[in-house]
Each structure stands twice: as C-alpha cells, then as structure tokens.
C-alpha cells in the first residue's frame, strides 16, 4: 500500500500478558524500523530490518521484546510478560532502501496500555 | 543522543510564515538535516531534508547556513493544521544500511487564528 499500516490502533493488556503488534510497510520498501514513544515527545529506537534480516537491534530490551519481518507477512513486535512501563505508543516506519538520503515514513502507531 | 537544539515552543499567526530554528553545531560533513512533525498523536510526518544546499518542496523550505551549524525550516503560509511538534534531526550517512532517527524534544508550534 501507499501508507505504513499498523494494527491494532489500541491494545490493552493486563500486566504479565503478551502483546503483539503488527506493521505492514509501504509496498516496495525494504527497510522497517520500530520506535517506542513513552512520554509525549520522547522517541526510543528499538530495532530495524532489511527485508527479513535484523539490521540494527541495539535498542531492543533483550529479555521480553522480540520482532520479526517474514516474507509475505506483516512485520511484528511482540512483548512477553508485559510490565506497566511498557505502556507507550509503538511506531513503525519504512524506507525504500538503505542510505541516509531516503526518508523514513511512519504509521500512526499502536497505543499499548498495560493495566 | 540527539545532536540538535530547538526552542521548546513557538507561536505564529495564521497566514504568516513560520520560521523554526535548529542548532546543530557538531554536525559532520556527511550528516543530513531532516525535519519531521507530529500532529496530535499521529505518527511523525516527513517534511524535508538536506545536506548543504537549501531545499524546497510542496510543504516547506529548508535553509542551511554555509557552515552547516544551524538551519531553519520555513512554512511559508502557516495554517491552523500546521500546529504540531516539529523535530529537527541530524542523520549520519551510513554505508550499506539505513540509520535510525534520533529524535530530540522538538519545537511545539502553535498557529493562532
């Protein structure tokens, strides 16, 4: 499609439950990025993919967070055993190719609320 | 860490030009300046980017000083819908892959009727 599509828009989970978020990048884009926005203006990079391959995972919490981008499927971000501090808006972005001259285009995010 | 400094907030009258400044005094020769904005709780929207020359597109103009230590984003005729948080981001050129974006706190622009 012409836009990055993220589902669901809102997700509510009890503490300790699993949460799974999905992202369909713009058609033809080979790079996918995940960001977490906890407070209104603060973004944290989590992970990036080049097609199905992890490109940069330096921002991923090692223990409970995992992500995948499989062929012919939306990318996913999964959080096991959620904690209250995981409450945030999670944004996915895609770009056409590698290279710093290619802008990233963002979806509208998934708002995750942990109760 | 973000490599940019922006004022936390600005106001602009509807129909007037909005000039948003950004300092990036430690920028290197291979680093691009990107501008994004976030309206309400939507995803960040790409506006424009540049390396050293001034750039213009249908949304805005980007003026980069000759020493590249600062830049200004210009919205030529601001509307109420331009009210948003504007982020100036310095992005490193990375061979063979696409770099993450490092967001600072941005400038909250309020366009007033």
- Taking only the tens place, the pLDDT of each residue in A12-52 is 999 999 999 999 999 999 999 999 999 777 899 999 999 99
Tell me the percentage of chain B whose pLDDT exceeds 90. Answer: 74
- H helix count then E strand count, chain A: 0, 11
Q: What is the pLDDT at residue B99?
A: 78
Task: Give yes or no for residue A114 having a pLDDT over 70.
Answer: yes
Cβ distance A55 to B97 less than 8 Å, yes or no, reads yes
pLDDT tens column, A85-107: 999 999 999 999 867 788 999 99
Q: How far is CA B92 from CA A34, A94, B33, B54, B111, in A?
A: 18, 17, 9, 18, 32
Q: Please spell the DSSP secondary structure of A50-61, one letter per residue.
A: ETTEEEE-TTS-
Residues B54-63 pLDDT 10s:
999 999 999 9
Nearest to A108 among B42, B98, B100 (CB): B42
| Closest CA in chain A for residue B92 | A100
**DSSP element (H, E) containing A49:** strand A43-50
Q: Work out whether strand A53-56 and strand A31-37 pair parallel, antiparallel, or are unpaired.
A: unpaired
3-state secondary structure chain B: CCCCECCCEEEEECCCCEEEEEECCCCCCCEEEEEEEECCCCCCEEEEEECCCCEECCCCEEEECCCCCEEEEEECCCCHHHCEEEEEEEEECCCCCCCCCCCCCCEEEEEEC
Mean pLDDT of all residues in B84-112: 84
Backbone angles phi, psi at A85, to 5 degrees: -70, -10
Partners of B103 on chain A (C-beta within 8 Å) are 41-43
A98 contacts B43? CB cut-off 8 A: no
Give the pLDDT confidence of B13-51 residue by residue, as tens digits. Answer: 999 999 999 999 988 888 899 999 999 889 999 999 999
Chain A residues lying within 8 Å of B43, measured CB to CB: 4, 91, 93, 106-109
């Amino acid at each position: 499609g012409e836009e990055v599509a993220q589902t669901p828009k809102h997700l509510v989970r009890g503490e300790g439950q699993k949460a799974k978020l999905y992202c369909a990048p713009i058609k033809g884009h080979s790079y996918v990025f995940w960001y977490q926005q906890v407070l209104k203006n603060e973004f944290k990079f989590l992970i990036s993919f080049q097609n199905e391959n992890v490109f940069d995972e330096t921002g991923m919490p090692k223990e409970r967070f995992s992500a995948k981008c499989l062929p012919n499927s939306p990318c996913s971000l999964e959080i096991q055993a959620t904690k209250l501090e995981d409450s945030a808006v999670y944004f996915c972005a895609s770009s056409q190719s590698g290279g710093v001259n290619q802008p990233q285009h963002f979806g509208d995010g998934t708002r995750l609320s942990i109760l | 860490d973000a490599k940019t400094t922006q004022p936390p907030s600005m106001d602009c009258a509807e129909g007037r030009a909005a000039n948003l400044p950004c300092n990036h005094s430690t920028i290197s020769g291979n680093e691009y300046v990107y501008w994004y904005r976030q309206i309400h709780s939507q995803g960040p929207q790409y506006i424009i980017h540049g390396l050293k020359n001034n750039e213009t597109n249908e949304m805005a103009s980007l003026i980069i000083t000759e020493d590249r230590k600062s830049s200004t984003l210009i919205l030529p005729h601001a509307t109420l819908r331009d009210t948003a948080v504007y982020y100036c981001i310095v992005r490193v050129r990375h061979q063979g892959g696409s770099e993450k974006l490092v967001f600072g706190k941005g400038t909250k622009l309020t366009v007033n009727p």
